[in-house]
Structure 1
Amino acid sequence: MHSRATSSPAQSSARPAAILVLEDGRTFQGDAYGAAGETFGEAVFSTGMTGYQETLTDPSYHRQVVVMTAPHIGNTGMNDDDRESQRIWVSGYVVRDPARVPSNWRSQHSLDDALREQGVVGISGVDTRALTRHLRERGAMRVGISTTETDPEALLGRVRDSGRMAGANLSAEVSTATSYVAPAKGQRRFTVAAVDLGIKANTPRMMTERGIEVHVLPATSTIDDVLAVEPDGLFFSNGPGDPAATTQQVALLQAALERGLPYFGICFGNQLFGRALGLGTYKLKYGHRGINQPVMDRTTGKVEVTAHNHGFAVQWPEGVGRDESVPTPYGAATVSHVCLNDDVVEGLELRAPASSGGEPGELLSFSVQYHPEAAAGPHDAAYLFDRFCQLMTERKGS
């Protein structure tokens, strides 16, 4: 089956042809966008109408071909100040109607130029609504984009030979090679060891604004590396890959929990927290990606509009209610946040064993599946960094 969005003759003639082929054989015709060549990855869609620069430079999208559901992309161009890392990480980019001329006072170059300069192969003029509906019905799957191949069957063969996301351990591919320090702004209140599994620039920024000196460590760090900075808390960032294939960081986190070190994890850090506590993880059919996901904080009852980017989730034990706790070697695990669209676990808490009256004990560590550091917003969940500070304050005073 072939699909193509309607585009103007001027737009079509200005760009060479390109094709997109999904691993189930569904084919979309379009125009080249960004670099010429061929690319492969996991096809996923993002529902954000803005913030595409954060998406492109988010290391969590490593080895993924991102389909933008909003039709007009590139309107505000690209700038060097809003990057979440030093490069574009997506394997490929799919848009319907790219901006011909960016219009924003902060724009330094066009999105098309940025993709081309960094060798990112994309495709435009695609019916992204049809493509998104297909991925919703069939699930995220491998995909190829090519500006050089004209035979969909030939490209399909290479798509099916490409790597899968399930079973992929990717954090070391996106992590910093050497540790570095982000100094606290104003008086230093805390020291945090942040393990970079694909960290975004806004995460250390939001910590330093709260008086935290952040020691960003490579993904391959050991418990000795963490303890060497004498931290008040441990942080695991977002990142790409299958949490079930990421065992070294789970062992590190378990060693930290055994020592009573307060922990805060985001996204991939939530999944690894679940595995460290003895819970399972699983691959979602098509994941959560975008900036409009409703999540309830069960500790406060408030509903937050949040930014997401995850294809895996924590598996809560069958037969155990969301309001019940699960015993672990480190305390009692509870669900702190849930997605109101599909009831996916969006946050975990580790508390001391319940008192004789059955009330949960003190908070020891916590994590969330979504992105409280979302640079383009929404900012409903920024309070979680304050919660981390409060946790470290309480532990320092105990």
Structure 2
Amino acid sequence: MKRQLVLEDGTTFIGKAFGSEEKTIGEVVFNTGMTGYQEILSDPSYCGQIITLTYPLIGNYGVNRDDFESIYPALKGLIVKEHCDTPSNWRSQMSLHEYMKSKNIPGLAGIDTRKLTRKIRQYGTLRGAFCSITEDPLEVAEQLTRMSLPSNQVQQVSTKTAYANPGRGYRIVLMDFGMKHGILRELTRRDCDVVVVPYNTSAEDIIRLSPDGIMLSNGPGDPKDVPEAVDTIRNLVGKVPIFGICLGHQLFALASGANTEKLKFGHRGSNHPVKDLRTGKVAITSQNHGYTVTESSILRTQLTVTHVALNDGTIEGLCSNEYPAFTVQYHPEASPGPDDANGLFDEFMTMIQAFKRKGNTSCLNA
């Protein structure tokens, strides 16, 4: 069956449909990873987006039970150059088509993904729609220009109730803004006693859980759409050690008095080089974000920039000058991607130890 992608500027791509037959509308973005499509599909940070994978062959190792990053995928659609419906891998339990059909995710294959990616790089992310080839692209494009993107994405993907993942180590309260399972896995590997709470949990309720540390998870959308989380983080800073990832990094920056802004086309992939300004070392990182902390706004805060992206110079890490708190824009848990930065979870454990031993201290001196 044929299907067309229509962008808000009227550009049209016609290809082969796979997965669900549902029509869909979302923000069209691209990911530069060569592998990891299962983790990408199940990453809650893609809520409301249609993902273009730049690597041409997708689906060749199928879908298995172990590589999901959430139970319920939140993306709006998937675009690939070539879709493989006959996977070959000892772990494969179903094809990509079968999985996407079971989760009502529509797919489009056989289009020039290089052309689409170049357009997004030139003009920025664009709203797009999967629709029948009988529909008028100009009418669809006009509808897209009148539509606004949703602002409740964190609410859609966050857990509705708190739950525990017991361990015998430090108690970590994990604020779920769209948490990847990889974060929970890394804390579990360190025997942490994790309590996952909804995005809108108050600072008072979090403190009642007697945490040794607080983790701010990744998540979708504009950080300014979650003002209640900013207020909560502001009231927690200095009381308990904090580690933030991706959206958690942006929310921490807002809570500290900095500003955020939207990137032209974002960072999405598993091959992004990031420099640690403290050591001079470069890590290859997994990333998925469309917003960044505004560099000039750091001057009015008590924050130090610790990491920068080598591709465009944007801020990739922050540390409080006063309190035990640090954040990164990328994903040290990977899933998918390299685990170069996995040691940041150990730094978090070390910071908690220092806080317990010496009391309140800057992460620079932990």
Q: TM-score, normalised by structure 1?
A: 0.87
Task: Note the C-alpha offset of 1:147.
Answer: 3.4
Quote the residue 1:22 is aligned against. 7
SS in 1 for 2:296: coil
Between the two proteins, the alignment pairs up a number of residues equal to 358
Gaps of 5+ in 2: 359-366
- Residue number among 151, 160, 164 corresponding to 1:181 in the alignment: 164
Structure 2 counterpart of 1:239, which letter? G
Quote the residue 1:370 is aligned against. 330
Quote the residue 2:183 is aligned against. 203
Cα displacement string for residues 259-301 of structure 1 (whole angstroms, at most 9, x for unaligned residues):
4211100000010011011100000000000000000011221
Give the RMSD, CA atoms, in angstroms: 1.4
Cα displacement string for residues 301-352 of structure 1 (whole angstroms, at most 9, x for unaligned residues):
110000000000000226x7xxxxx464xxx201010000000000100022
Distance in 1 between the 2:311 and 2:104 partners?
Answer: 36
Structure 1 counterpart of 2:285, which letter? T
Structure exhibiting the larger radius of gyration computed from Cα positions: 1
8 Å contact 2:303–2:319 — kept in the other structure? Answer: yes
1:36 is the counterpart of 2:21 = yes
- Residue number among 83, 105, 116 corresponding to 1:120 in the alignment: 105
Cα displacement string for residues 129-150 of structure 1 (whole angstroms, at most 9, x for unaligned residues):
0000010001001111113643
Distance in 2 between the 1:162 and 1:70 partners?
Answer: 30
SS in 2 for 1:132: helix
Quote the residue 2:215 is aligned against. 235
Distance in 2 between the 1:141 and 1:269 partners?
Answer: 25
Quote the residue 2:319 is aligned against. 349
SS in 2 for 1:317: helix
1:312 is the counterpart of 2:291 = yes
1:220 is the counterpart of 2:200 = yes
8 Å contact 2:271–2:337 — kept in the other structure? Answer: no
Distance in 1 between the 2:336 and 2:6 partners?
Answer: 31
SS in 2 for 1:20: strand
SS in 2 for 1:278: coil
Distance in 2 between the 1:155 and 1:17 partners?
Answer: 17
Distance in 2 between the 1:99 and 1:210 partners?
Answer: 38
8 Å contact 1:180–1:216 — kept in the other structure? Answer: yes
Cα displacement string for residues 85-133 of structure 1 (whole angstroms, at most 9, x for unaligned residues):
1022210110110002011110111111111111111211110000000
8 Å contact 2:258–2:300 — kept in the other structure? Answer: no
- Residue number among 110, 118, 123 corresponding to 2:95 in the alignment: 110
Cα displacement string for residues 189-218 of structure 1 (whole angstroms, at most 9, x for unaligned residues):
311110000001111110111121110001
1:335 is the counterpart of 2:305 = yes
Quote the residue 1:323 is aligned against. none
Give the 5 Å matches for 1:3-82: 16-82=1-67
Task: Note the C-alpha offset of 1:154.
Answer: 2.6
8 Å contact 1:295–1:305 — kept in the other structure? Answer: yes
1:136 is the counterpart of 2:121 = yes
Quote the residue 1:145 is aligned against. 130
Quote the residue 2:153 is aligned against. 170
Give the 5 Å matches for 1:377-396: 377-396=337-356
Distance in 1 between the 2:105 and 2:349 partners?
Answer: 39
Quote the residue 1:255 is aligned against. 235
Task: Note the C-alpha offset of 1:157.
Answer: 2.8
Distance in 2 between the 1:276 and 1:88 partners?
Answer: 29
Runs ≥4 in structure 1, deviation > 4 angstroms? Answer: none
Distance in 1 between the 2:191 and 2:321 partners?
Answer: 25
1:246 is the counterpart of 2:226 = yes
